[in-house]
Structure 1
Amino acid sequence: MSTIMIVEDDPKICELLQSHIEKYGYQTLVVSDFERVIDYFHENRPDLVLLDVNLPSFDGYYWCRQIRAVSTCPILFISARESKMDQVMALENGADDYITKPFYYEVVIAKIRSHLRRAYGSYAMQAEEKTVEWSGLILYPERLELSWKGQTAHLAKKEAMLLEKLMERSGRVVSRTRLLEKLWDDQQFVDDNTLNVYVTRVRKKLKELGIEGALETVRGTGYRLKATWGEQG
């Protein structure tokens, strides 16, 4: 059964959405703390998100970017803002669709069904899932997950891209320039310390799996996944 996460600060609209969605056999997750939207997402891993634009603290565009950094699940905006620019901003920030209020609940259900089919069902691509494997460590770039010895760590998109490049050239030094080219199309506007930040985050994700000292800094050159780390544990 698919789970739909509802991020809507109007209690009446939220209640009606929840009731209607559950009537069609879906589970719902209603966000009540609008400063912890991404925490709700991490804790529950919903299949689709309904997201309002006008929210307390941070707007829907912000939360859309946070979710999109860690997941490719469908995100549908529901908003009273009708301007073309708002719809463009939603799509530019990673949304899959934009529904303006007031809306017919049947239309919302139809769009939910359509996007779930495209993402997971009969319309989803049937190509074999891409994996990168080395010494028992398995990276699932499309899921943004890293697995080792039955444990899984969730990754941000840039973290997955960084690991993919390092794993593909495992045991060899990958230059900072090559990693920057992999992660950013236009390096001119990337602060040099930004790569360091992502390397630190990847080390933390590896540590979550019980892997320490695997990602080695080669001074003045770049980074390398050590060839013997897989013998740990």
Structure 2
Amino acid sequence: MDKMIQILVVEDDNDINQLLCNIIRKSGYLPQPAYSGTEALLYLDKQAWHMVLLDLMLPGMSGEELLARIHELGPVPVIVISAKEEQRTKVAMLRTGADDYITKPFDIEEVSARIDSHLRRYRRDSTSDARSRQLAYKSIILDPEAKSVTLGAELLSLTAREYEILALLMSSPKKVFTKANVYESVWGEEFFGDDNTINVHMSNLRSKLAKASPNEEFIETVWGMGYRLKP
């Protein structure tokens, strides 16, 4: 199973939610069920996701409202799965930012195929973008092509792990990344709760940023949750 791919399933019907979660598991990914828009927003604020499967008729916050919030947090593929069959609804969701629209009742194999297709395209596009696009946050410039980081006029000397941690945080500046997110993304291995490795690298990265810009704090700890770039 690919421990790296985590998919948020936002569906208030328990049977449909569990069916979608089973489809995701059989495809080798990790599902996280959410049964309302407000519950989904808690998960979205807590960590980064590789994909969201989204129903529209939800308690707490509609799927339409949630879709707008998802894209405020960063790029992530969204597949709407809804009983709303009206063409204008499909067009509106696609224009709002949904990557695909599947009408209920759905075919299990089709859902599985579309998940795989969008994940492949998203990862391919992300890799292409990362190779060519600089990332900027406050006075930090990260250049993926040169594998360099500058803060103001100073070129920082970062280790490979420190660079990857910073690149991860800068890829979604508003996201809170758990220690598991950081470890599995940067080290490419399953996280078993050993905080020391992450703590040391995060501390070293913060020290180097602070040395280059003593009056600015770039990375903050969200207690009980993880790390993100300081707003």
Structure 1 length-normalised TM: 0.58
Instruction: Report 1:96-175 matches (<5 A).
Output: 96-121=99-124, 126-127=128-129, 128-132=131-135, 137-138=140-141, 152=169, 154-155=172-173
What CA distance in whole angstroms lies between the structure 1 residues aligned with 2:26 and 2:112? 10
For residue 98 of structure 1, give the secondary structure of its aligned residue in structure 2: strand
**CA distance in 1 between partners of 2:69 and 2:28 (Å):** 28
- Give the residue type in structure 2 aligned to 1:71: G
* TM-fit CA distance, 1:125: 5.9
- C-alpha displacement at 1:24, in angstroms? 1.6
The match for 1:164 is: none
Name 1:30's counterpart in structure 2. 33
Which residue is equivalent to 2:84? 81
Post-superposition offset of 1:38? 2.1
Give the total of aligned pairs.
160
Q: CA deviation at 1:26?
A: 0.9
Instruction: Give the conservation status (yes or no) of the 8 Å contact 2:12–2:36.
Output: no
Residues 135, 230 of structure 1: 8 Å contact kept: no
SS at match of 1:49: strand
C-alpha separation between the residues in 2 aligned to 1:66 and 1:134? 21
- The Cα shift of 1:70 comes to 1.5
Aligned partner of 2:17: which letter?
A: C
Q: Distance in 1 between matches of 2:213 and 2:134?
A: 17
Any idea what SS the aligned residue of 1:117 has? helix
Find out whether 1:54 has 2:57 as its counterpart: yes
TM-score (norm 2): 0.59
- 2:114 and 2:50 map into 1 onto residues whose CA distance is 13
Using the alignment, how far apart are the partners of 2:136 and 2:90 within structure 1?
39
Q: Give the superposition deviation at 1:68.
A: 0.7
Unaligned 5+ residue runs, structure 1? 141-146, 157-208, 211-228
* Corresponding residue for residue 66 of structure 1: 69
* Residue 36 (structure 1) shift: 3.1
Deviation, 1:135, is 9.3
Structure with the largest fraction of helix = 2
Deviation at residue 35 of structure 1 after TM alignment: 1.4
Q: Which residue of 2 aligns with 1:163?
A: none
Structure 2 equivalent of residue 230 of structure 1? 213
Which residue matches 2:18? 15
List per-residue Cα deviations over 1:144-178 (Å, max 9, x = no partner): xxx9896647446xxxxxxxxxxxxxxxxxxxxxx
Q: Percent identity?
A: 31
Find 1:3's aligned residue among 3, 6, 17: 6
Equivalent pair of 2:11/2:36 in contact (CA under 8 Å): no
1:89 maps to amino acid:
A
**Stretches of 4+ aligned residues off by more than 6 angstroms:** none
RMSD: 3.5
Q: Which has the larger radius of gyration?
A: 1
Instruction: Report whether the alignment pairs 1:92 with 2:95.
Output: yes
